[in-house]
Structure 1
Amino acid sequence: MEYSGLGIAINGCGSATPSVSVSNENLSAIVDTSDEWIASRTGIRQRRLAPPDSSLTQLAAAAADHAIAMAGITATEIDLILLATSTPDDLFGTASRVQAELGATSAVAFDLTAACSGFVFGMVTAAQFIRTGVYQNVLLIGADVLSRWVDWTDRRTCVLFGDGAGAVVMQASQLDRFLGFELRSDGTLNHCLNLSYEGGSTPLLENVAIAQGGFRPITMNGQEVYRFAVKRVPDVIEKALFRANLTVAQVDWLLLHQANQRILDAVATRLHIPANKVISNLAHYGNTSAASIPLALDEAVRQGQVKPGDTIAASGFGAGLTWGATIFQWGQFD
């Protein structure tokens, strides 16, 4: 049957994390905290941190290699690479470096920045290219190394974040597995979560001054972000389900951005989704930003938890503030 240009399948996934693991007990030697304080408030027990000689490119490419292999294609068959990240190796973009690392010589590559919502926004972006028939095989990567931008003297934020990468291959398909989505942004709440530029005034000419500086470490109003997430995320998932013509009862797995176990529990409760349908691995990795959803998905797939044909409601939320949800069925199945 000739491809109609409308269907999308998500057929391969992969992930990669640094080998260095830092526990809550380790952090208590750096800041005034404890395993009990961190775990009770966040659900996080440890996180992976990238060493100085590593790069986002390496993490992203490693995750991508696994996803491409699972999808049963080669890197040269990839048409488009989308890299969702807020921590590129190069501010001009890192996707092209990943393309070169993979040997994906036919692929167009570019970065996409929507912080912790980046992977969900990336799925929707990839879907549009496939639906129009422009591209057949899209590699979507979510990767971040937030350890570069954390204030390691601030116990409110340094305990939360970790480094990692996850990837999926989205392909043109005769049957459509990408069922619905909803995306939102609210810039009036931008101040709640920032990794902002800070530059002083530098004289250049007699009547000309410029700003030159760098980026400040991450700042966050945790209470505001929590309230935002538990209110907006259930709503955006319900809207995406409506667009997919599905009910909450038809969802096999709830896959949220891995920010805080309390948020995962609260969203599941508001949607009346039982705990055994909630995918969670943040205890081992912390908040890996754009990497968290594909990293959790990859683990669940490879452990046999998520099976082909399962319906997944995925939602990302974070800086911007941005939030969104996608509804899709995993893998190849009849």
Structure 2
Amino acid sequence: MAYQKRISSHVPQLLLLALVLACANGYDLKLGFYQKTCPKAEAIVESVTADHISVAPSLAAPLLRMHFHDCFIRGCDGSILLDSTKNNQAEKAGPPNLSLRGYQVIDAAKTALEKACPGVVSCADILALVARDAVYQIKGPYWPVPLGRRDGRISIALESLTLPAPFGNIDQLKAQFASKGLSVKDLVVLSGGHTIGTSLCSTIAIRLYNFTGKGDTDPTLDSEYVPYLKSKCSPTDKTTIVEMDPGSFRTFDERFYTNVLKRRGLFQSDAALLDDKETSAYVKLQAQSHGSTFFEDFAESMVKMGQIGVLTGSAGEIRKHCGLNNYS
């Protein structure tokens, strides 16, 4: 397969990048972290993920999104996995996270790992591995995942409101990514994750029906695409889903950039990529070159994202159950 050839030639560079990033940030993450304490850890996660994705390939998108949402709040610490308690509404109860799904994959992997090597592998590491393996299972790119994350104990629903929003403009998006140590290139590359998955009609209702409060449509949307979206989504529809990459929403490819260039990106944040010189140039490059560097670039940006604000050493804990702190 072309995608396998394309990514395999870059694996050595990606491995080097992963090592350099971990060292440069002073983190204790490393490739093969569980080699002695749980040697089959990565194989177990890969197997569990493959079992689920083979039955429900559409889970790849929300699992990738779950990892992104986890890392952008308190770092990649598995806090997105914690359940709400009587005294606290957790991140997964926050509005941007209500549509996330696939928690059962993480739980299944954790159960298998606890049986093989109890109390060793963190939920944060499991999520990072599952996101990678799920994308690879649908013939997306592969990237090395340095391990050694520990699980955070704090998860607050309101903090989810700080996530990059689908209605964000380019300045807001650039600032949010920069605050996490990610570049403008990382922004446009990781936005390419919208090549898979779906969204609720309610997310784009204002863009379609009341963009400026006068019953109008966002003028940056392709006028020929608007009738199609309106045929799918009524103004008050809160349950229907629409594909982010129509006709290709289960295939990891460069068509997202083709859609954005045609002004058919589903979200305002997608359209915003044309409002910056650097992001616009990248959109045009991938659209016109059939994604010549997209897989490699995505892999590189995922390595960087996966190391945001990680807990290592004696910080945090290794949860016994991903939805519960050990002493909650």
Per the normalisation by structure 2, the TM-score is 0.27
Per the normalisation by structure 1, the TM-score is 0.27
Higher helix share: 2
Higher strand share: 1
